[in-house]
Amino acid sequence: MGVWSTYESRINAPINMDGSTKRDAALDHVQSRMRRKIAASLSYQSVKIDGIDRKIAIVSKTEDFATKKIFALPGESIPHGSIVDWESQKWLITQINAHDEFCSEGVMQQCNYYLKWLDDKGDVVGRWVIVADGTKYLIGERTEDIMAIGDARIAVTIGKDKDTNKLRRGDRFLIDDADSEDVLAYEITKPNKLFNVYNGHGVFRFIMNEVNLTDADNVELRIADYYNWTPKVPAIKPERKNEGKTVAEIVKEATRRQESEPETVEESGVWL
């Protein structure tokens, strides 16, 4: 038996009557220490996560004031893709560390826009999102003949839920400053629903391109296609009388009708 094997067997060997090991004892010691340390920290703040009162530690990350690292007490979880209310601002939890043996930790980013749209029932749906520049090295315009046409591209990060999961390529939105008179319209061109989603929770990232504003857009409410919304009526499937029958059974039935009801078959146009 090697040195490591000897150490591993000792650390995992039961030391109490309840079967706990030295590793369990060490883990419990670390968790107890982190629980005391986090709770006593000046970074330990009262927040709301999806409207529920919680306490988490919030730590600044480098020089980016719009991004914070967050920690929960051992045994408490941090919901990936949720909205945090803190310091009169909305923050989106964009990352979660999968290794939560000691404590749960993640990253939240400050939201800068409240995105609104109409769902399939015609109800207004809104979510806090993070809008970032997606053009990078582009100038925001493309030239066609003698006209300069807007060609802005943005990246919208949004939490995954039952409503945002229905968004798809081609959906339009109005995204601009609240005081802007010349509101810009955008359309989803790249719906990345695997951007940062794990075990059914996380955030989507939608790349949107600038498109023309239309008369159907409600600029005051910042909702695109507001005036031309129509309910989606599911297509009625035609009745299939032969469903579940084999070809031989269909041929046999048609032959029987031809022999027993020749007049009816001729009038209805049934043929074999």
Q: What's the whole-number mean pLDDT along residues 99-126? A: 95
**SS3 (DSSP) at 262:** helix
What's phi and psi for 265, nearest 5 deg? Answer: -65, -40
Mean pLDDT of the chain: 84
* pLDDT at residue 239 greater than cutoff 80: no
pTM: 0.74
pLDDT of 169-186, one tens digit each? Answer: 999 999 999 999 899 999
The percent helix, strand, coil of the chain (3-state, each to 5) is 20, 40, 40
Instruction: Single out the residue of 130, 223, 227 nearest to residue 172, CA to CA.
Output: 223
pLDDT in the model for residue 137: 45
Indicate the range of 147-156, 204-213, 219-228 predicted with least confidence.
Answer: 147-156
pLDDT in the model for residue 236: 66
Domain residue ranges of the chain, discontinuous segments joined by + = 3-110, 114-211
Provide the percentage of residues in the chain whose pLDDT is more than 70: 77
Displacement of CA 34 from its chain's centroid (Å): 31
Report which DSSP code applies to 233: P
Q: Say how far apart CA 196 and CA 157 lie, in whole Å.
A: 10
Q: Say how far apart CA 100 and CA 77 lie, in whole Å.
A: 8
Q: Which fold has domain 3-110?
A: Thrombin, subunit H (2.40.10)
Q: Say how far apart CA 163 and CA 208 lie, in whole Å.
A: 18
